[in-house]
Structures are given as C-alpha cells and as structure tokens.
C-alpha cells in the first residue's frame, strides 16, 4: 500500500496543506508543537474514523472554524482508494465519511480501504495503563483487519448500553431479552479477539527477541477474561450474566462480558507491568505494534502504512537499528525534532514543519 496524497483543510493548526510523500520513509522534522503529529493523526483518522489522541472530534477542528476535512488517497494492489472524513464544530452534527467520492452510510464502510499502524511514545500505555487501552488496541487492529468485527463490536456495545440503561432505571423486566442479545453479540467479539491474540503472541515474541536482543527474556501475550477459554461464548455469557445479576443490579452496570476483558503481557513468565523496566516495556509495546503490522500485512497481502511519531529518539542505537530493519519494506511517515534522530532510517524525503506549513 502506498499513500499518494494527504489533504487537510482547517485540521488542527493547518488551514490547508497537501502532502504527496514518495515511496519509502518521509521524515517530518520540526519543533514540538509545530504540527508534525497532526499529519499522522489525519492519516489515522482516515484509516479508522477516529483520532489516536482524543475522543473529542471538535479538538481536531482549527480554532474559530466550523468544520474540518481530511482526505487520504492510497494505491493498492487492487487499484486506487480514496477515503475522507469531515468533522463539525456543532456537536449535533455527526461526522461524515467519504469512500471513493461518495458519502458512506455507515462508519464501518471506511474500514479496510487504507490501513495503518502508528507508533508513539504514548504506546507505553499498552503496558502500564488499564485493560481498556489493550482492548482498544485489539479493537482498532481488528476493525481494520475485518470489517465484520467493527460491526460485531458496534452491535455488542449498543446492546450493552441498553442493558446498562435498564439497570440504572431499575427496570428488570426486560433484562432477559437484552441478556440474549448481549450474549449473541459477545460471541463473535470474543472469538475474533482470542484468535487475533494468538496470532499476535507468536509474532510479538519473535519481534521482542529481535529488538531486545536477549534470548533469556521471552515475551508473551494472552487474552484473558470470563469467556477467554469458552467453547460456546454465547451460552457461557448467559451463564455469567445470570451469576452476576445481583451485583449488576447493585452497581447499576454490567459486570461480566468482553467489555471487561484484558490482555496479559508476560516477560519470563511474570507480569511485565509489575516487574519490567522502562526499556523492557517500551520494547514490548514496539513488538506488539510490529505484530499488528504483520497481521495486517498477512491479511491484505501488502504492508499497511507506518506512522512513527517521535519514536526513534526514545530508543538506544541498537534498538533503533533493529526497528528500522523491521519496517524497511513499508511506506512510512516519521516525525522527529532533531535530524540526528533518524540516522540510519535512509529517508526518501525530509520535510520541515513550521507553523502549519511544510517546507523542503
């Protein structure tokens, strides 16, 4: 997959900009706050319909503007794909998604046309923060990997919202109906997450060994939760909901299901979060993202776009060299504040970002 153009209008600090990167690595150099990350954010928005930095779409609209638009064009093995997103300052207006020049009726239609994997210093949260961060990692990956997963997760979350609303109202008469719907929706979510975790685990272990360079530090990922080992997730979900009914009523929320699941990250058989060093955690996060890259490449028969946001400066020279060797086959956008940060990356193009403008 190759990005041929990225257009922004009134997005973050950019009034209007066009980026046409060549094949290989394009380096974006600039001071902190110059707008480098905003370009990567725009690509991510076009790939999955949301920012990797904020859940508030209005934050992406340039100050004093009512709307913002981004458009990404990529060339793939099956031809040209053009996707775009338009955002609105008015909270009552929903964002609009465009696919190949036409308005898409559903957000899910955006998925799979352009795919990306983003690396950033915040990736440490994959290891250090709570389960919701690791669930989001799986959800974003699988939504790009399989459009059906996006719709399955959407169905589950809508049913969960309705069930929680009933619990808050104290209306238990309709709970059995929503239990059935929630259980049916949970099954594909669990199966796809579990399968993805198994594939990610094998790939991430190899990447960790390569980047970390130590054979005595085996890394492992394991999907865990109430249904992680279930042969019949729908039936077992119903049993779990029944067992937790009293607690659900007391807490006015659903306490059992894949919305509570996690991914255990282990190093030498111990919890990485509890016993890992900063360097080990960073290597693990990089390995997880590289495994996600592999999974997307295997699924679509071509590498996804790579977005590296000020990552190389966080690595020692050996880990930097090994990471660059791993990603050399993909088109990449790489941001940094110092030209010394990308030594070894062999960029095809270097652009300076200043005050919402790109300069050669």
**Domain spans of the chain?**
1-115+304-360, 121-303
pLDDT of residue 197: 97
Q: At CA 247, angle to CA 242 and CA 249, rounded to 5?
A: 90
Strand-pairing partners, residue 70, are: 8, 85
Report pLDDT for 325: 78
Q: How confident is the model at residue 323 (pLDDT cuts 50, 70, 90)?
A: confident
Q: Distances in Å between the alpha carbon of 125 and those of 34, 117, 155, 240?
A: 24, 16, 27, 29
Averaged pLDDT, 93-121: 94
Buried b (16+ CB within 10 A) or exposed e, 297-308: beebebbbbbbb
CB of 57 within 8 A of CB of 107?
A: no
Mean pLDDT of 130-142: 96
Structure tokens at 20: 């046409």
118 touches 311 (CB < 8 A) = no
Burial-class residue 232 by CB neighbours within 10 Å (0-12, 13-18, 19+).
exposed
Q: Of the given ranges (24-28, 41-45, 82-86, 188-192), which has the lowest mean pLDDT?
A: 24-28
Residue 327 has pLDDT above 80, yes or no: no
pLDDT of residue 318: 79
- Please give the pLDDT value at position 100: 95
Say whether pLDDT at 89 is over 80: yes
Name the average pLDDT for the chain. 93
Question: Does the pLDDT at position 344 exceed 80?
Answer: no
CA dist 190 and 187 (Å) reads 5
Instruction: Dump pLDDT digits (tens) for 215-268.
Output: 889 999 999 999 999 999 999 999 999 999 999 999 999 999 999 999 999 999
For residue 2, the surrounding DSSP H or E stretch is: strand 2-11
Q: How far apart are the first and last CA of the chain?
A: 24
Residue 316 above 90 pLDDT?
no
pLDDT exceeds cutoff 80 at 131: yes
Fold of 1-115+304-360: Rossmann fold (3.40.50)
Which of 166, 174, 145, 190 lies closest to 298 in space, CA to CA?
A: 145
Rounded to whole angstroms, the Cα distance separating 220 from 196 reads 13
Burial of 209 (0-12, 13-18, 19+ CB in 10 A): middle
Rg (C-alpha) for the chain, rounded Å, is 21
Fold topology of 121-303 = Glutathione S-transferase Yfyf (Class Pi); Chain A, domain 2 (1.20.1050)
Q: For residue 355, name the pLDDT band (cuts at 50, 70, 90).
A: confident
pLDDT, average across residues 191-213: 95
Model confidence pLDDT, tens digit, residues 47-83: 999 999 999 999 999 999 999 999 999 999 999 999 9
pLDDT for 252 equals 96
Residue 211 half-sphere exposure toward CB, CA atoms < 13 A: 30
Distances (CA, A) of 96 to 46, 57, 108, 175: 11, 12, 12, 34
3-state secondary structure of 298: helix
- What distance separates the 2 farthest-apart alpha carbons in the chain? 66
- The model's confidence at residue 346, banded by pLDDT at 50, 70 and 90, is confident
Is the predicted pLDDT of residue 187 greater than 80, yes or no?
yes
């Amino acid at each position: 997959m190759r990005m041929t153009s990225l257009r922004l209008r009134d997005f973050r600090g950019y009034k209007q900009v066009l980026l046409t990167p060549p094949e290989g690595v394009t380096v974006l150099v600039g001071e902190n706050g110059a707008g480098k990350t905003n370009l990567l954010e725009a690509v991510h928005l076009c790939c999955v319909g949301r920012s990797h930095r904020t859940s508030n779409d209005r934050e992406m609209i340039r100050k004093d503007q009512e709307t913002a638009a981004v458009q990404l064009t990529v060339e793939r093995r099956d031809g040209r794909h053009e996707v775009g997103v338009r955002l609105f300052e008015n909270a009552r207006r929903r964002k609009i998604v465009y696919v190949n020049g036409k308005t898409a009726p559903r957000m899910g239609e955006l998925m799979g046309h352009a795919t990306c994997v983003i690396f950033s210093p915040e990736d440490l949260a994959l290891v250090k923060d709570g389960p919701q961060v690791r669930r989001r990692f799986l959800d974003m990956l699988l939504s790009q990997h399989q459009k059906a997963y996006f719709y399955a997760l959407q169905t589950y979350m809508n049913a969960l919202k309705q069930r929680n609303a009933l619990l808050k109202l104290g209306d238990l008469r309709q709970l059995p109906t929503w239990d059935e719907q929630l259980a049916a929706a949970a099954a594909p979510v669990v199966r796809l997450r579990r399968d993805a975790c198994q594939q990610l685990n094998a790939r991430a272990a190899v990447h960790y060994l390569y980047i970390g360079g130590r054979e005595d530090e085996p890394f492992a990922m394991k999907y865990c939760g109430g249904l992680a080992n279930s042969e019949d997730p729908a039936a077992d979900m119903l049993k779990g909901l029944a067992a937790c009914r009293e607690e659900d009523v007391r807490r006015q929320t659903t306490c059992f299901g894949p919305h509570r699941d996690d991914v255990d990250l282990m190093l030498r058989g111990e919890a990485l979060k509890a016993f890992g060093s900063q360097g080990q955690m960073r290597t693990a996060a990089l390995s997880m993202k590289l495994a996600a890259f592999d999974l997307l490449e295997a699924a679509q028969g071509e590498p996804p776009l790579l977005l590296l946001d000020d990552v190389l400066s966080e690595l020692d020279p050996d880990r930097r060299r090994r990471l660059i060797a791993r990603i050399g086959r993909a088109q990449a956008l790489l941001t940094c504040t110092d030209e010394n940060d990308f030594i070894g990356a062999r960029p095809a193009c270097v652009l300076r970002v200043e005050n919402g403008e790109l300069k050669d």
